[in-house]
């Protein structure tokens, strides 16, 4: 295609929460809730809060721990959400700060200066405000000319962002594009909900996509092709939005936060993702057996094993399809790119891999890449 992925960066927050710590706090909260509401629960007016378990979490999801931007507040049974102090308008915003942390690493790995970049895309599950765009704040802070914009595609925000960069380079709109996925999920997690309190973590990743003749990096990948699909589903949903104020709905209500029908998602998304990858590969004359590595979305270890088994006839090994869920949990759209950041330098020229995301929307996005 003449378009390459020339460098990437991963910024990991310094604080983390293990399953044990998270479950201890949740269970203390549940016990207190049940005591305080004993009468209503007894009368059948309220449901008792069920208890969580670290063993269940690891077995059902593969998650052992998650990184968080701010641990303070999350384990406080009187708060059950992070405390991220507000900043003045003349200070860098939190999401721009973590975006820049990953962007600097990606620029260094791509061997690029800010002046080489023509466009910035910030793409993630949530942005902390509508305008000015986080991407424009990042562009300003890094001293990049050209243009920037934000986009939201939940679990597939990262791959869809890379797709837009690929198309911009293909169209000649930009020579080099910086795509950043600052996934600050913890403010939207319902830490009072046993079924979802363990799922997410915070992280920031960034990638440089550019014309092959501009590429000066050590580890670069030809992008052989991109493919995207969306199918509407209410099984993963967050109703938080700017209209809450007008509809008099509570921005802290359970349905305003992340919620899902996890079983249905699992059953519906696995076959869709497997078919998507297989169709994408065959459009390029490839099969699953031609892949040296699979950098898959990280929502659930059993999902990733099932998808690779459908395509390979057996479970992919950790070397073929690395898992980062144990340390990072689900980081919305960033999971496949965390796996890419941590596991790509060992590939040799000609090795082929697929980056693939799948989840809320539903949305599925893939890129087939080949080491140069
Ligand atoms: N501790 C103990 N027991 C529990 C717990 C817990 N923490 N949670 C659930 N249980 C119970 C259930 O209540 C259920 O009990 P019962 O049988 O009595 O009803 C039992 O355990 C089994 O529950 P499930 O059937 O729900 O368990 P599963 O084996 O299906 O595992 C998972 C649940 C892990 C959620 C699994 O279904 C899953 O991973 N599904 C796929 C989900 C997925 O991929 N979702 C996409 C996530 S969205 C995304 O990636 C980005 C969205 C945008 C970002 C949002 C940021 C905030």
Which one of 22, 60, 155 would you pick to mutate in the ligand 1 pocket, going by the greatest count of ligand atoms within 8 A of its CB?
A: 60
CATH superfamily of 221-371: Thiolase/Chalcone synthase (3.40.47.10)
Q: Which of 155, 192, 215, 356 is catalytic?
A: 155
pLDDT in tens, the chain (372 residues): 899 999 999 999 999 999 999 999 999 999 999 999 999 999 999 999 999 999 999 999 999 999 999 999 999 999 999 999 999 999 999 999 999 999 999 999 999 999 999 999 999 999 999 999 999 999 999 999 999 999 999 999 999 999 999 999 999 999 999 999 999 999 999 999 999 999 999 999 999 999 999 999 999 999 999 999 999 999 999 999 999 999 999 888 999 999 999 999 999 999 999 999 999 999 999 999 999 999 999 999 999 999 999 999 999 999 999 999 999 999 999 999 999 999 999 999 999 999 999 999 999 999 999 999
ipTM for the assembly: 0.95
Residue ID of nearest Cα to ligand 1 atom 32: 262
**Catalytic residue status for 215:** no
Determine the Cα–Cα distance for residues 30 and 44; give it in Å rounded to an integer. 17
pLDDT at residue 64 in the model:
98
Domain ranges of the chain: 221-371
Which one of 63, 125, 153, 195 would you pick to mutate in the ligand 1 pocket, going by the greatest count of ligand atoms within 8 A of its CB?
A: 195
Q: Which atom of ligand 1 is nearest to the CA of 358?
A: 50
Residue ID of nearest Cα to ligand 1 atom 3: 52
131 C-alpha to ligand 1 centroid (Å): 34
Helix (H) or strand (E) holding 306: helix 301-312
pLDDT at residue 1 in the model:
81
Residue ID of nearest Cα to ligand 1 atom 29: 60
pLDDT at residue 90 in the model:
97
What distance lies between CA 312 and its chain's CA centroid?
Answer: 25
Determine the Cα–Cα distance for residues 91 and 69; give it in Å rounded to an integer. 17
Residue 283: CB partners within 8 Å, gap ≥ 6? 225, 227
**The tokens of 63 are what?**
């998650």
Q: Ligand 1: residues whose CB is within 6 Å?
A: 52-53, 56-57, 60-61, 125, 154-155, 185, 188-189, 194-195, 198, 200, 236, 258, 260, 262-263, 265-266, 299-300, 303, 330, 332, 359-360
Q: Which atom of ligand 1 is nearest to the CA of 189?
A: 57
DSSP-derived secondary structure for 12-81: --SEEEEHHHHHHHHHHHHHHHHHHTHHHHHTTSSPPPPPP-HHHHHHHH---EEEES--TTTT-TTT-S
**The tokens of 326 are what?**
């144990």
């Amino acid at each position: 295609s003449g378009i390459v992925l020339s460098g990437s960066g991963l910024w990991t927050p310094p604080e983390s929460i293990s399953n044990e710590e998270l479950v201890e706090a949740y269970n203390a909260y549940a016990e207190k809730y049940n005591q305080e509401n004993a009468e209503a629960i007894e009368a059948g007016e309220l449901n008792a809060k069920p208890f969580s378990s670290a063993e269940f979490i690891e077995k059902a999801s593969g998650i052992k721990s998650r990184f968080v931007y701010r641990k303070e507040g999350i384990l406080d049974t009187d708060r059950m959400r992070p405390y991220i102090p507000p900043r003045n308008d003349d200070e860098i915003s939190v999401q721009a700060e973590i975006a820049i942390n990953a962007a600097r690493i990606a620029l260094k790995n791509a061997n690029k200066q800010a002046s080489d970049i023509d466009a910035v895309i910030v793409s993630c599950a949530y942005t902390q405000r509508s305008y000015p765009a986080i991407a424009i704040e990042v562009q300003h802070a890094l001293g990049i000319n050209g243009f920037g914009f934000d986009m939201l595609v939940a679990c597939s925000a990262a791959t869809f962002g890379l797709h837009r960069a690929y198309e911009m380079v293909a169209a000649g709109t930009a020579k080099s594009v910086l795509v950043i996925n600052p996934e600050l999920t913890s403010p939207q997690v319902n830490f009072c909900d046993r079924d979802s309190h363990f799922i997410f973590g915070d992280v920031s990743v960034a990638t440089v996509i550019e014309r092959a003749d501009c590429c000066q990096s050590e580890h670069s990948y030809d992008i052989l092709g991109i493919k995207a699909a969306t199918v509407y589903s209410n099984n993963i949903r967050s109703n938080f939005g700017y209209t809450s104020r007008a509809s008099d709905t509570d921005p802290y209500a359970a349905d305003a936060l992340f919620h899902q029908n996890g079983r249905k998602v699992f059953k519906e998304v696995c076959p869709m993702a497997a078919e998507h990858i297989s169709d994408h590969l065959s459009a390029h004359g490839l099969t699953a057996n031609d892949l040296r590595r699979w950098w898959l979305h990280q929502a659930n270890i059993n999902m990733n094993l099932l998808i690779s088994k459908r395509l390979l006839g057996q479970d992919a090994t950790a070397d073929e399809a690395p898992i980062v869920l144990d340390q990072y949990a689900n980081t919305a759209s960033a999971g496949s790119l965390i796996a890419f950041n941590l596991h790509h330098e060992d590939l040799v020229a000609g090795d082929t891999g697929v980056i693939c995301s799948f989840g809320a929307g539903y949305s599925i996005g893939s890129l087939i890449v080949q080491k140069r």
